[in-house]
Structure formats: structure tokens, C-alpha cells
Structure 1
Amino acid sequence: MKTTHIAASSILQELERTLQLVRPEEIEALAESVASAGAIFVAGAGRSGLMMRAFAMRLMHMGFRAYVVGESVTPGITAGDLLVIGSGSGETRTLAAMAAKAKSLGAEVAALTVVQESTLGQLASACVVVPAATKDGSTGMALTAQPMGSLFEQSLLLLLDTIILHLMDRKALEGAAMFNNHANLE
């Protein structure tokens, strides 16, 4: 039991240290991009993709037109829309190709990544640098006891929830109002 408590405490310390290093102006720029987009499309691979799916769900709860790339009900992206990609390395080929395609169609691209100089970081008009370790541990500023990209993925979820809170504040929304868009068939 004591080991579990120590591990949880260590994870929380890593998250706090990492999140304090994220630049507030980058979060603000991403929130502004989301607020002004016609529709928001999200993408990520693996566990990062799961964090992005959670973000799309919260955006939908707020009344945004939000879609997960690759789902059968996702429409095409167009000019005025926003593609938000979460990728630790910023070099996942499929995601980089997706970002390039979105830009060629006139959509904006935003990225949350460890490496600002990455392909995705360079394609993005709004880039949030998350100073965590990538899954291979080769880049990033944070030392972590956690495996692979865990610190990035956890930080990604918390940063995306921070953006949701920022947008809720801008729209003067409370959680109860968002419940109207919550799933109700289960």
C-alpha cells in the first residue's frame, strides 16, 4: 500500500512540474483557435488519440461541432475548420500527412507536442509545447519514472481540460448546462 501511495505522489509531482512549464499564451492561442473554428476535428495515435477523443466529447458537450478523425460519421474538413492533433514526438507520419492535407484544404492546424520543431509543430498555427518525455524517451525536458509517453498523455488530458474550462468561462457555461448534450440512451 505504501508503495502505491508513493508512486501516485510521484506521478502528481511530475504532472505539476510539467504543467507549470507550459506557456499560458500557447494555451490561450489554442483556446482562441477552437472558439473561432467552424468545426473542430481531433486526432492522435494510441493513448494520445484517446486523450483527443475525450477532448472532442467535452467540446460536443459544450455545443461545438467536434469530430474524431477516422470515425465513420466524421464529415470532411473545410476552410475555417480546425484540426487539433496530440502527438508527443510530433513526427507520427499519418498525423503529419493529415495536418498537411488539412492545411491544403484551408483548415487551420493546432498541435500539442513535446517537440515544437517537429513536423507537426511546424505545420501548426497554434502549438502548445508540453515539456514531457516522448514514448522513446529521446526528447523532452522532463525526467519521469513513468513508462514511455505516460507523462505526455496525462499532461495532454489535463491541458485539454484546462482549455475546456477556459472556453466554459468565455461562454459563461456551467457543467449542468453541458449535461443537455450528454448521451442519454444508456
Structure 2
Amino acid sequence: MQTIAYTKEILAELSRTIERMDDAEAEKLVDGMQRANKIFVAGSGRSGLMAKAFAMRMMHVGLDPYVVGETITPNLEANDMLIIGSGSGETKSLLSMAEKATSIGASLALVTTNPTSVIAPLAAIMIEIPAQAKAEGTSGKSIQPMGSLYEQSLLLFYDSIILRFMEKKELHNDTMYGRHANLE
């Protein structure tokens, strides 16, 4: 298969995956973000990179986001929200964060391929991305290696959450651009 053919198949996989997602849970996430004082995001590996991109867009729309593990991340409090992106939902460090967040009384959202994971029962909001998890290998859900389909879907999902937030708050690109980094 040639490069463009692979690209077309990746786009088809993304389309099939996103069509199967639950919009009601996504709407709960948008509403929870509007209510939260501060929003924390976490993920390991490539999921963590998607979380960082999401945090940047949240800042652009005027929210108060933080990436767990960064040196300037403040403490999590009861009126805050933690959003975890984890394909497996089983990563021990993320489980520990989820347990801590719920013990403090913060809202927990999980975006995962595994709705029966150990983190899932802790989450007030659970969004399933029905994609191949990296441990599934050649499950037939994707031609892509490991968790690529999940991670790509995660980024698109996070961007769609931002679009819905913008719609609800009647925000536009020019508003966001005003918060864009200017020391570059």
C-alpha cells in the first residue's frame, strides 16, 4: 500500500471510531469543565501528549487548565476536575491520581478504550473511544501500530470538546488568538 492509501485508511478508521462514541457523555464533560474551578489533565506516553495539547486549547478559551506533573501545577481541590486519557485505563500512576482526586472530592473524567478498567468505576464521566488499545496488537480494529488509533481519536475528541465549549460560550477564533503565546 502506498502512503496516501495508508492515510485514507487511517481517516476511515478515525471516522468509524468516532461514529461509535457517546455524545451524551461528551456533553457531560463540557458541562463539567464549565463548572470546574481548575481543570487538570493527565495521561502517559502519547496520551499525555494529547492531554497537553488539550490543556493548551483550554487555556486559549479562557479556562484554568494544568498538566499533572509539570512544575507549576498547583494542588487539586474539591471544586476542580481531573481528566485522564488512558487507553487501557489500567496505568498504575493514573489510577493513583484518580483515587487521590476522588478522595479530595474533585470530579473525575476518564477517556479510554476500556470501560471496564480499574479507573472507570471512579469516574463520574466515562467516555469510551472504541479503538484498538496498544496491548491488543493486531485486533483487526486498526492497521496502525499499538494505540495510534486511540491517540489520534483522543486528540480529535479533545478538539471537538473545545469546539462545543466555544459554541456554548459564544467564543470565536479571534478571542482565542488573543490568548496565544506572544513571546515566540
Q: Tell me the TM-score range normalised by the shorter chain.
A: over 0.9
Taking a change above 3 Å as real, the CA distance of residues 94 and 139 of structure 1, as seen in their structure-2 partners, is farther
Q: 1:65 matched to which residue of 2?
A: 64
**1:48 equivalenced with 2:47 (yes/no):** yes
* Partners of 2:90 and 2:117 within 8 A in 1: yes
Counterparts of 1:96-115 in structure 2, within 5 Å, are: 96-115=95-114
* Partners of 1:96 and 1:119 within 8 A in 2: yes
Quick one: distance in 2 between partners of 1:109 and 1:82? 6
Q: 1:158 matched to which residue of 2?
A: 156
Q: What one-letter code is carried by the residue in structure 2 that aligns with 1:181?
A: R
Q: Note the alpha carbon deviations across 1:42-61, whole angstroms, 9 max, x for none.
A: 00000000001000000001
Quick one: distance in 1 between partners of 2:179 and 2:150? 29
Using structure 2 for the length normalisation, give the TM-score. 0.97
* Partners of 2:90 and 2:118 within 8 A in 1: yes
Q: 1:25 matched to which residue of 2?
A: 24
Q: 1:181 matched to which residue of 2?
A: 179
Question: Percent identity over the alignment?
Answer: 49
SS of aligned partner of 2:105:
coil
- Aligned residue pair count: 184
Unaligned runs of 5+ in 1: none
Q: 1:87 matched to which residue of 2?
A: 86
Q: What one-letter code is carried by the residue in structure 2 that aligns with 1:160?
A: Y
Taking a change above 3 Å as real, the CA distance of residues 131 and 77 of structure 1, as seen in their structure-2 partners, is same
Quick one: distance in 1 between partners of 2:17 and 2:138? 14
Q: Note the alpha carbon deviations across 1:129-178, whole angstroms, 9 max, x for none.
A: 000011111698x6100000000000000000010000000110001111
* Partners of 1:114 and 1:132 within 8 A in 2: yes
Q: What one-letter code is carried by the residue in structure 1 that aligns with 2:169?
A: K
Unaligned runs of 5+ in 2: none
Q: Note the alpha carbon deviations across 1:54-111, whole angstroms, 9 max, x for none.
A: 0000000111010000000000000010000000000000000001001111111000
* Partners of 1:115 and 1:139 within 8 A in 2: no
Quick one: distance in 1 between partners of 2:127 and 2:181? 30
Q: 2:14 matched to which residue of 1?
A: 15
Q: 1:144 matched to which residue of 2?
A: 142
Taking only aligned residues, the RMSD between alpha carbons, in angstroms, comes to 1.4
Quick one: distance in 1 between partners of 2:106 and 2:62? 20
* Partners of 1:87 and 1:112 within 8 A in 2: yes
Quick one: distance in 1 between partners of 2:37 and 2:14? 32
Decide which moves more: 129-138 or 59-68. Answer: 129-138
Runs of 4+ with >2 A deviation: none
Q: CA deviation at 1:26?
A: 1.2
SS of aligned partner of 1:102:
helix
